[in-house]
Amino acid sequence: MSQSQEELLGTIGRNPTTPNTLALQNHDRVPALDGLRGLAVLCVMLFHFGTASGLQADTYAAKKIIGFFCNLWSGVDIFFALSGFLITGILLREKKEPGYFTRFYMRRTLRIFPLYFAAMIVIFVLLPALHLPALDNPGIHRVQDAQAWMWAYSQDFAITYYNDDFFDPDPLWVGHFWSLGVEEHFYLVWPLIVYLCARRGLLLTSALLIVAAPIVRYTMMHYDMDPAAVYTFTLSRMDQFAIGGLLAFVRSRARTSTGDTLGALGRRGHGVVSSGLCDRAKTALLLV
């Protein structure tokens, strides 16, 4: 055989594509979650329609409809659980790769910061410069005085600190930004927890958060905290993220087990197939 023929035979044996690589390559995306996210969006929109539309519940049917809308606040819970699931899955997958923190925080920054701070500029810089009569009332002035909390993604802390939800004065409704603050607090802390904890430690941390958050809510209600403070405070919301994280952990374990099984089968199959291919290639080249 010539040197080029030997190199060809070596290439055939050295560069396999194992079945586990092919099987796990496209499993990161879960299309069903897009539908769940859409359902959560619909719930939140209907909730705000029921609470902020000014509809008069002067009939039995109207009371039932508005009451139904007002109970759709759980859409936010779905969002938080989805965030916990998706973010934990990403972190587990990239935990051992270089640039773990830099890559994660850069993605989060580019995804959220531009639109959020553009909204802050419109609300707290451009609108006051217009001197609109509709915006000249004590409620809006109070929000403007407390705007530092919102620039720092800490609206939920302000509601808890003042024990009052004053971020929705008519017609400047900015109360919904609290959920972005809670998301940012999760993004700030959770990557470090995933990085420092082994799998068992992460499982235990998630379980503790699922238990601790209801205790926080009960304690706040026991001390007569404003319902909005109980509803929006970051520590009272961590169980939803932890539930999503726990599901991501279980999915990661299942995929690891599947990957190991497929890898073992793939290595055996590759040994048989590549051996046969090499034998055939050798025979063909010897006949040339």
Three-class SS of the chain:
CCHHHHHHHHHHHHCCCCHHHHHHCCCCCCCHHHHHHHHHHHHHHHHHHHHHCCCCCCCHHHHHHHHHHHCCCHHHHHHHHHHHHHHHHHHHHHCCCCCHHHHHHHHHHHHHHHHHHHHHHHHHHHHHHHCCHHHCCHHHHHHHHCHHHHHCCCHHHHHHHHCCCCCCCCCCCCHHHHHHHHHHHHHHHHHHHHHHCCHHHHHHHHHHHHHHHHHHHHHHHHCCCCHHHHHHCHHHCHHHHHHHHHHHHHHHHHHHHHHHHHHHHHHHHHHHHHHHHHHHHHHHHHHC
| 173-221 per-position pLDDT tens digit | 888 899 999 999 999 999 999 999 998 999 999 999 999 999 999 999 9
In this predicted structure, what is the pLDDT of residue 105?
96
| 95-147 per-position pLDDT tens digit | 989 999 999 999 999 999 999 999 999 999 999 999 888 888 899 999 999 99
